Amino acid sequence: MSNKNNLPTAQQKINQITIWGMIVNIALTIIKTIGGVIIHSVSLVADGIHSLSDLLTDVIVLVSTRAAKRPPDSNHQFGHGKFETVGSQLIGIALLLVGGGIGWTALSSLYQHKQNFPGPLIVVFAVLSIVAKEILFQYTQKVARKYHSSSLYANAWHHRSDALSSVAVLVGGVSSLFGFGYGDHIAGLIVGIMIIWVAGKIIFEGYKELSEHAIDENLIKVVKEILEDNDEVVQWHKLRTRKIGSELFIDVHILVLPELSVQKSHELTIELEQSIQKNIDQPINALIHVEPFFETE
């Protein structure tokens, strides 16, 4: 059931764009793989395998985001957000293996001086893939940014890497039409390298989150400005931040005048939390500790 305004929830939007991605990836896997076999194109078959890996990562996104949205329980008191990070890592590893396999196959063919002339149909297949995957990338990235989903963002870049690999297939195919027999294999090698690069980026970003890396420096600057602009906060220290799934966790100690009542101190923390939430468009879990401030001579 949707929310009270009958608007789709974050999970519903993530599921919708991912299922559309699965449909497109199934179609492209079949078209590119069978087409590559028929016209004897190494790079197009490799591109079809890339689309198959996209399909597998779509499944990872559906499973990991669903697990991440489960509420906190006695064993996961900070929620299940890191399931989504683990999902993005699995996507990165899958990409790394696919890219390595494609690159190795292309290198072997070049080493053996194999030439290939797949013909003009490869241009049609490549253009179809580029258009479909670029559209998927744009829409998936938009949803990922709106709902701060790391695994969906990783999947968006998987779509983009597939589009870019199809560009390499297109260039290789066109070059073969002009008599360059190594173009198809070189395109396959470029596809592999591009996939490995994207995989490394995804794995690195996931590692940062799993290792309790602080949140983005620009967001930390926003929190600091809010603390410093409040007249009742005399000083602050021990600001700590981290990211779990789509949620930011902020922990800070503020110093206030000793005569400030418990009630006023509590109201101050609520005011600060609301101000942080208002200025950062992302789910936030803020814990503000209040301490008395005593001037030292």
**pLDDT tens-digit profile of 68-113?**
677 777 777 676 777 777 777 887 888 788 788 878 877 887 888 8
At residue 188, does pLDDT exceed 60?
yes
pLDDT at 175: 85
- Pairing type for strands 235-244 and 247-256 reads antiparallel
H-run or E-run covering 252: strand 247-256
Strands of the 284-292 sheet, one edge to the other: 235-244, 247-256, 284-292
Helix 183-210 crosses helix 150-177 at what angle (to 10 degrees)?
170
Q: What is the pLDDT of residue 7?
A: 45
CATH code, residues 217-292? 3.30.70.1350
Q: Can you give the pTM of this predicted structure? A: 0.62
Burial class (CB in 10 A: 0-12, 13-18, 19+), 290: middle
> What pLDDT was estimated at residue 1?
41
Q: Which residues pair with 285 in a beta bridge?
A: 249
Q: Residues 6 or more apart from 270 whose CB is under 8 A from it?
A: none
Contact 72, 78 (CB under 8 A): yes
Q: How far is the C-alpha of 269 from the C-alpha of 272, rounded, in Å?
A: 5
Domain 10-210, CATH class in plain words:
mainly alpha
Average pLDDT, the chain: 81
Say whether 217-292 and 10-210 share the same fold: no
Secondary structure letter of residue 9 according to DSSP = P
203-235 pLDDT, tens digit per residue, is 887 787 777 777 788 888 989 999 988 888 898
Q: Looking at residue 293, what is its pLDDT?
A: 85
Domain-by-domain residue ranges, the chain? Answer: 10-210, 217-292
Query: What confidence tens digit (pLDDT) does each residue in 230-282 have?
Result: 888 898 998 988 877 667 888 999 999 888 888 998 999 999 988 888 888 77
- Cβ(153)–Cβ(141) below 8 Å: yes
